[in-house]
Chains A and B, each alone.
Chain A
Amino acid sequence: MKLHVDWTACDGRGLCTELLPELLARDPWGYPVARDGTAEPAVAPHLRAHARRAVAQCPLLALRLVAR
């Protein structure tokens, strides 16, 4: 399971970086950036609940969990 950001929707509000600091940091402009350097960071099983919460809390619905 991977985390996908819809960059056309993301406005850098930063909730995901607060809720999922294990995977996401903030770039110089406040947008989420994957700590592993990938475009779609893999979500380890123990972080799935946190990832789902981040997806649900994004005010712009820019975050998704994808299977690929």
Chain B
Amino acid sequence: MTTSTTVPVRRPRPAPAGTGRLLGAGAPDLRTHLARHGAVPAAGPRLIAEIERSGLTGRGGAAFPAYRKLAAVAAGRRAVVIGNAAEGEPASAKDRTLLTHAPHLVLDGLALAAAAVGARRAYLYLPAALVGPLRAALAERRAARVDPVPVDLVEAPDTFVAGEESAVIARIEGRPALPRDKRVRPTESGAFGAPTLVQNVETLAHLALIARHGADWFRRVGTAAQPGTFLATVSGAVARPGVYEAAYGTPVAGVLDLAGGADQALRAVLVGGYHGAWLAGGQLGAGMDRDALRPLGASPGAGVLVALPWSACGLVETSAILDYLAGQSAGQCGPCLHGLPRLAAEFGLLARRDRHVERLAQRITALAPFLQGRGACHHPDGTVRLAGSALAAFADDVSAHLAGHCVAVGRPVAGRAVVAGWSR
């Protein structure tokens, strides 16, 4: 292939069709990116209304409407914009995959968000391994003069809570990446006291495409309430674990099919990550969107799916995840510091089929009120949700374990998690 020396493509490029929107450029360099997507349009503040029409929701897990944060930050002065690629969730790989394959789509989104809210400073908060590649991407952009605002790279520690909004802001300010007590919203007073927009990098990439192709194009796939596509990280008992792009509303089983489908009979699927919920094998026809998953006590979160085969024990897997989550408490808030290890320990007794403790399942459930809503962040809440969903999805296993048996087929090494260990 011959490459011309004149760079930017000024002509609008055709909008991506179907659901392959984010990862389709073919190569991560600026020239390929511009050839595929076209130049960054000069949108400015009017982009906020287009984002509102698009129905874009945050892809970091909470699914908050993107335009509301944009509008709130735009109302202030001297705004700061932060692209958040801290992916502390062990079962998620979509943010680093996106930054590896399409860094310029994320950086376009960061520049467009900065222009939309009148920000003078922009940051990209990302894992250490990606700092080098992104520094190179930023150098390409400086040479081509595509960014109106300089972008600083800030390294995110590899901890579960490092991507929580207030922890992100703390790290940008030069302090440890720990969640803080919320007195005022970051959109009013965040990093250095300035109105601050913290947006997941996948959200920014979608924003960059909406700026080019419009809200109507964005809404062509997905559901009315949750339009567009999302990046799913599929792991566990599937043929080809990896990151795939799917429309919201695609059945859970359909997203597993993108990864080659289940490679053995499935017992359950963990939806939404370590703070998510287990769906039983019979519930996999449910759509991967908030409205379809809500009645099942689940949510798409950041698009994580972990397929659990019949050869693994859901209680053992959950116990391994709870141990991990207890260890990831920042240690700041008493209920989390003391309560998560207790929850993990009680659940561990159940996973190991300890029959000497009376009413084990009830003891686990009884811990919930001492954890929910009692921390600077939602780490205790998410951990309780996972434990509760496991007790519901694996109710038969609970009975079996309390009687000293296990229903997992083929009985893996007793007490050893298999699926939870695959994801990292």
Contacts and interface: CB of A to CB of B under 8 A. Distances in A.
B370 A7 contact: no
Interface stretch (B235-243, B304-312, B331-339, B411-419): B331-339
B358 interface: no
Given A8-B181, A29-B339, A39 B373 contact: yes
A38 B370 CA distance: 11
Contacts of A27: 335, 339, 370, 374
Given A28-B370, A33-B369, A33-B370, A8 B333 contact: yes
Contact of B374 (A9, A11, A30, A33): A33
A64 to B, nearest CB: 8
B339 A8 contact: no
Contact of B369 (A8, A11, A30, A37): A37
A37 B370 CA distance: 9
A10 B333 contact: yes
Interface string A27-46: 11111010001110000000
Main secondary structure of the interface of A (DSSP, over half): loop
Contacts of B334: 7, 10-12, 29-31
Given A6-B181, A7-B181, A9-B181, A29 B373 contact: no
Interface in B306-350: 332-336, 338-339, 342
Interface in B355-394: 369-370, 372-376
Interface residues of A, number: 17
B36 interface: no
Given A7-B376, A38-B373, A39-B374, A29 B335 contact: yes
Given A7-B335, A8-B179, 17 more contacts: A7-B181, A7-B336, A7-B375, A8-B178, A8-B181, A8-B333, A8-B376, A10-B334, A27-B335, A27-B374, A29-B339, A31-B334, A31-B335, A31-B338, A33-B374, A39-B372, A39-B373
18 contacts: A6-B181, A7-B332, A7-B334, A7-B375, A8-B178, A8-B179, A9-B181, A10-B334, A12-B334, A27-B339, A27-B370, A29-B334, A31-B334, A33-B369, A33-B370, A37-B369, A39-B372, A39-B373
Counting from the closest, the 5 A-B pairs by CB-CB distance are A39-B373, A7-B333, A6-B181, A29-B338, A8-B332
